[in-house]
Amino acid sequence: MNKKKFRGVMALILCFILCVSAAASDFTIALPGGGRGGENAENPFPDPVYNAIDFGDFVKATKNLLTLYESIDSDEGGKYASARLIVKASQALPDLSGYHAAQILADASYNYLVQFTNPADAEACDAYLNDLSYVIFSEPDREVKLPEPEKGAAGLGSMETGAEYNSWGVAATKAGEYATNLKARGINSEITVAVVDTGVDDSHPFLSGRVISGYDLVDDDATPQDGNGHGTHVSGTVVDCTPGLKINIMPVRVLNNRGSGSDSVVGLGIQYAVDHGANVINMSLGGLGHSEYIDSQIKYAVSKNVTVVVAAGNEGQDTKDYCPAGDTECITVAAVDKSKSKASFSNYGEAVDIAAPGVEIKSSVPGGGYDSWAGTSMATPHVAAAAALLLCENRSQTPAQIEKKLRDAAEDLGNSGWDRYFGAGFLNMASFIQKVPEPEPEPEPVEPEPEPVEPGNPLGNIRDVPEGSYYYDAVVWALGKGITKGTTETTFSPNATCTTKQILTFIWRANGSPQPKAMTVSGDFGKALAWADETGVSDSVGAQTEEACTRAAAMTYMWQDASKPDSGSNPFSDVSNNTFYAQAVCWAVQKGITNGTTATTFSPNNPCTRAQIMTFLYRYYVKAVNS
């Protein structure tokens, strides 16, 4: 008997077993290995429809389903090779036993994973479901795999002696220079890049301190270790492009050690990353054909302000035939070599947004070594890192704004303007690098000679606040309101630097010392910090409470306390409009709270002194609010 006839006979026998089982008693599942549903301890699904109680339960059930049916022989199944459908509906699905559905997974939002025992049944049911008006989409669960990279000869190399970066692309794109510039300007917001891939070797020394908790959706556990190497190489490039910053890697394992997986698991990986705080998602993977499910998951990410960056693919073909490369909601990355010529393998097409270094890219590999690989997979993390750097400077930017900035700043390659091989051009972060203001010398504190206390002196015993100083009225007001008591009985220490904790406490007291919801905190500092967190006063500036607070951060806290009102024009050359504090500073100028340190400078990175913060508060609460 030839192979095709044998499969046909086996399919008929299997259908007969299913029908007999259903008619005889409760429906039981005929398994590829010969077992039966509820009577077999190896089968995790005693019923033909499994209703997951939450996302974690659906992940576990998906893993069990794929394991249970991985032995299906589907050499002739084509796009239905998995004999499995991904379905989204607006109401419950009808009984699918007539199509020999072996197992159905469902959640409360009418998302389904429907497993069959042969591709023909899956294809027939897919046609039926797509004719139902309440089915949003039904599609085969495709195979997803890595764009196969070209690897170097060895995997245990080391960083080159004296080399500043592993990848030549870090210097070529100016990503490393921009990262250094951000740090020099005091900008280091914590940003998370989810690497949805084969996992990450978090013990690699180059990744030390940069890998946070993630998840393994292949094995359904919290240890997404990399048995392939691809995810570690991708992650190393993200870290390489962001030296010295708090840009972390969240490993989300969706591909097995062979570098393959399915849309169903990749889509869950996207959702996991979004729901667990990712700001950027890197997906250097893909599959043939379009997936409405993956498209919907990417749209979900974008709706949550998560920027998604994907590889164009290594087939030298049009991206319209691949997913997620052909998706318009994400940033699709093509690859170029050191001469900025198109890499021979790089896919092209209408979906390509930008090109990045993708040939001879050296990065980390499992086991502590380094290797040079080539592929659009290697180009993609350069762009994911660039997106993370822009968010580090201003995390309120949307994915569309991030994409536009990267495209507008790109170095044009190929035909003038956008083209299907390079997109907008070569990734170039040079235009985002700003001049680091020279620190102003701190004035020497002048301690006036103590004078006898005069009756009616508004400063009480305070002796280091000269009458006629710019901050005199502010300190008198603050002492009278109980906002400060001075640093000692006789000193206010006007030139002393304030910590973040002190400034938030002053703002809290200026608001009347409201009781925070967190009733367990005690003391003014504890109450002030809890209140600032609850009300959003400190939501966009990392409150490192014991560190010196900059003028930029202090003004941002006040602006957020004022509910982030619209701001005026920007008169300062050292305040870039794309910084987190720009709106706050412009608002403060509009309200007369600050005039800057000179007519054209604000000195945002200088520490805020006690005299300055009291003056800012006085001008706002006494003058601006009451004007």
Bridge partners of residue 145, in order along the sequence: 260, 286
In this predicted model, what pLDDT tens digit does every residue of 374-421 receive, in sequence order?
999 999 999 999 999 999 999 999 999 999 999 999 999 999 999 999
Q: Are residues 163 and 116 in the same domain?
A: no
- What pLDDT band is residue 526 in, cutting at 50, 70 and 90? confident
- 195 vs 200: CA distance, rounded Å: 8
Least confident range from 91-100, 214-223, 480-489: namely 480-489
In a domain, 458, yes or no: no
463: which residues sit within 8 A by CB, 6+ positions away?
448, 450, 451, 490, 491
In a domain, 446, yes or no: no
Choose the most confident range, by mean pLDDT, from 14-23, 98-107, 466-475: 98-107
- What pLDDT band is residue 284 in, cutting at 50, 70 and 90? very high
Last residue of a domain, one of 113, 141, 169: 141
User: Which of 308, 235, 246, 249 lies closest to 274 in space, CA to CA?
Assistant: 308
User: Which of 5, 371, 328, 310 lies closest to 147 in space, CA to CA?
Assistant: 310
Helix ranges (DSSP H) in 149-291: 168-172, 175-184, 230-240, 263-275
At position 370, the amino acid (one-letter code) is Y
Q: Mean pLDDT throughout 600-620?
A: 91
Q: Are 285 and 144 in contact (CB under 8 A)?
A: yes
pLDDT of residue 114: 97
Residue 166, phi-psi category: left (phi > 0), alpha (psi -120 to 50), beta (remainder): alpha
Q: Are residues 25 and 96 in the same domain?
A: yes
141-176 burial, b at 16+ Cβ within 10 Å, e below that, comes to: bbebbbbebebbeeeeeebeeeeebbbbbbebbbbb
Structure token digits, residue 469: 């100083």
Higher per-residue confidence, 328 vs 444: 328
Higher per-residue confidence, 26 vs 400: 400
Q: Are 410 and 319 in contact (CB under 8 A)?
A: no
In a domain, 118, yes or no: yes
- What pLDDT band is residue 447 in, cutting at 50, 70 and 90? very low
Bridge partners of residue 281, in order along the sequence: 194, 308
Burial class (CB in 10 A: 0-12, 13-18, 19+), 23: exposed
Q: Are residues 516 and 534 in the same domain?
A: yes
In a domain, 459, yes or no: no
In a domain, 426, yes or no: yes
Per DSSP (E only), the strands in 90-134 are 103-106, 111-115
User: Which of 126, 137, 123, 115 lies closest to 61 in space, CA to CA?
Assistant: 115
Active-site residue identified among 167, 346, 363, 377: 377
pLDDT of residue 579: 83
- 541 vs 526: CA distance, rounded Å: 18
pLDDT of residue 3: 40
233 is catalytic: no
- 347 vs 421: CA distance, rounded Å: 8
Q: Are 427 and 386 in contact (CB under 8 A)?
A: yes
Q: In the predicted model, is pLDDT for residue 67 greater than 50?
A: yes
Tally Cβ neighbours within 10 Å of residue 98: 11
Tell whether omega for the bond before 458 is within 30 degrees of 0, i.e. cis.
no
Looking at every residue in the chain, the average pLDDT score rounds to 85
- What pLDDT band is residue 623 in, cutting at 50, 70 and 90? low
Q: Are 131 and 268 in contact (CB under 8 A)?
A: no
- 524 vs 165: CA distance, rounded Å: 46
Q: Is residue 199 within a helix (H) or strand (E), and if so which, with residue range?
A: none
377 is catalytic: yes
Q: Are residues 80 and 214 in the same domain?
A: no
Active-site residue identified among 121, 126, 197, 473: 197
Last residue of a domain, one of 382, 401, 432: 432
Q: Are residues 478 and 594 in the same domain?
A: yes
Q: Are 570 and 582 in contact (CB under 8 A)?
A: yes
Q: In the predicted model, is pLDDT for residue 120 greater than 80?
A: yes
Q: Mean pLDDT throughout 18-27?
A: 32
Number of domains observed in the structure of the chain: 3
Q: Are residues 279 and 425 in the same domain?
A: yes
pLDDT of residue 35: 30
Bridge partners of residue 157, in order along the sequence: 370
Per DSSP (E only), the strands in 270-415 are 280-283, 287-288, 307-311, 322-323, 331-336, 352-357, 361-365, 369-374
Among residues of the chain, what percentage have pLDDT more than 90? 63
160: which residues sit within 8 A by CB, 6+ positions away?
none
197 is catalytic: yes
Structure token digits, residue 12: 């008929």
pLDDT of residue 438: 63
Provide φ and ψ at 17, rounded to 5°. -60, -45
In a domain, 437, yes or no: no
In a domain, 220, yes or no: yes
Last residue of a domain, one of 121, 141, 161: 141
Q: Is residue 87 within a helix (H) or strand (E), and if so which, with residue range?
A: strand 84-89
Residue 167 sits in a domain of what CATH number?
3.40.50.200
Q: Are 238 and 381 in contact (CB under 8 A)?
A: yes
pLDDT of residue 600: 84
53: which residues sit within 8 A by CB, 6+ positions away?
none
pLDDT of residue 5: 42
Q: Are residues 416 and 541 in the same domain?
A: no
Residue 516's domain comprises: 472-624
Tally Cβ neighbours within 10 Å of residue 314: 24
Helix (H, G, I), strand (E, B) or coil at 539: coil
Q: Of how many residues is the chain composed?
A: 627
Q: What is the largest CA-CA distance in the chain?
A: 114
Helix (H, G, I), strand (E, B) or coil at 427: coil
Residue that has been written with the tokens 């084969």 in this structure: 198
Residue 468, phi-psi category: left (phi > 0), alpha (psi -120 to 50), beta (remainder): left
Structure token digits, residue 287: 């599959």
In a domain, 440, yes or no: no
Active-site residue identified among 100, 204, 230, 233: 230
